[in-house]
Amino acid sequence: MDILANITEQDYTDTIGELPEGFLFASVKNVGDQDVNVNGVALSAGEAKSYPFVGKGYRAVPFEVSEQSTLRVLLII
């Protein structure tokens, strides 16, 4: 059986980025001390959110992380 999905986990600090278009599932958690911005919404320290599998790939989701915080991302492409 062929493997179709690829899982990646990565921490982001002091950066502007995005979850890439076409991802199937994502979970993001602010593991730092300051707010981060995910898809235009502030995510406080310790908060998490997910983008569950909905049968199609998602559009790109932007995020912005300050120097004082870290965003942990688990992504299935």
Over residues 51-65, the pLDDT tens digits come to: 999 999 999 999 999
What is the Cα–Cα distance from 47 to 34, expressed in whole angstroms? 11
pTM (two decimals): 0.89
What is residue 1's predicted lDDT score, i.e. its pLDDT? Answer: 64
What is residue 4's predicted lDDT score, i.e. its pLDDT? Answer: 76
| Enclosing domain of residue 71 | 7-76
Please indicate, yes or no, if residue 1 is contained in any of the structural domains.
no
CATH code at position 29: 2.60.120.10
Q: How many domains does the chain have?
A: 1
Beta strand residue intervals within 1-77, DSSP E: 7-12, 15-19, 25-30, 36-38, 41-43, 48-51, 61-65, 71-76
Which residues of the chain, if any, have pLDDT below 50? Answer: none
